[in-house]
């Protein structure tokens, strides 16, 4: 059953901090998430896309923190492959439109359940993956069905720091979870 979400304004993470801290895989669509959804094709057929440096830095920070990243695109693209290689994205899947099937395959390969996965998408083919993932995320200009399926809608636009915003939430939640003192059940003795 789809989750109904308000689409009026971006919001803080609606899932609890522990839910964000438990994410081990952050998978995402490419066009309309990592880019603004535009593709430039020259007369000789060469493709160009713009990717945010902010997003790239956030993705590298996730890798350093041990969070696996994956890009799942419905269309093959040399520009996407080049950027993924540059950022050392460990899982790049192109030319597959069943995003949920790909996400489930990745989760199974990594021995992760839905609660350990976050997925970010902007279109109809992303909706099942948004609903399956422990945390579904959409950029603010995603189609209504994607925003409604999402647990969180970013304040930043796709291709302009939306992915970085999510990376920052994931890293902050993880840091907060690690900084909480462990409960031992007994008080320390004092002399």
Please report, for the chain, the start and end positions of each structural domain, with discontinuous segments joined by +. 23-39+47-178
Report the interhelical angle of 162-179 vs 53-65 (nearest 10°).
30
CB 115 within 8 A of CB 99: no
pLDDT tops 80 at residue 29: yes
Buried-state track 102-138, b at ≥16 Cβ within 10 A, e below 16: bbbebbeeeebeeebbbbbbbbebbbbbbbbbbbbbb
* Rounded Cα gap, residues 114 and 103, in angstroms: 9
User: Whose CA is closest to 26, among 142, 175, 148, 162?
Assistant: 162
pLDDT score at 182: 55
* Rounded Cα gap, residues 102 and 174, in angstroms: 25
pLDDT score at 3: 43
CB 30 within 8 A of CB 73: yes
Band (181; pLDDT cuts 50, 70, 90): low
pLDDT score at 184: 53
pLDDT tops 80 at residue 2: no
Query: What global pTM score does this model have?
Result: 0.86
pLDDT score at 93: 98
pLDDT tops 70 at residue 176: yes
Helix (H) or strand (E) segment spanning residue 117: strand 117-120
23-39+47-178: what CATH class? Answer: alpha beta
pLDDT score at 7: 43
Question: What pLDDT digit, counting tens, does each position of 62-121 carry?
Answer: 999 999 999 999 999 999 999 999 999 999 999 999 999 999 999 999 999 999 999 999
């Amino acid at each position: 059953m789809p989750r109904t979400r308000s689409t009026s304004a971006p919001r803080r993470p609606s899932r609890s901090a522990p839910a964000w801290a438990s994410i081990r895989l952050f998978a995402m669509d490419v066009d309309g998430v990592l880019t603004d959804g535009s593709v430039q094709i020259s007369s000789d057929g060469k493709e160009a896309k713009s990717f945010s440096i902010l997003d790239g830095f956030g993705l590298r920070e996730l890798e350093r923190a041990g969070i696996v990243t994956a890009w799942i695109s419905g269309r093959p693209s040399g520009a996407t492959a080049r950027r993924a290689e540059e950022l050392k994205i460990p899982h790049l899947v192109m030319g597959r439109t069943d995003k949920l099937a790909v996400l489930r395959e990745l989760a199974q390969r990594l021995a992760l359940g839905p609660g350990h996965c976050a997925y970010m998408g902007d279109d109809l083919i992303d909706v099942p993956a948004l609903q399956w993932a422990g945390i579904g995320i959409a950029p603010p200009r995603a189609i209504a069905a994607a925003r409604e399926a999402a647990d969180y809608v970013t304040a930043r636009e796709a291709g302009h720091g939306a992915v970085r915003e999510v990376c920052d939430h994931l890293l902050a939640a993880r840091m907060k979870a690690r900084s909480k003192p462990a409960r031992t059940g007994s008080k320390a003795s004092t002399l």
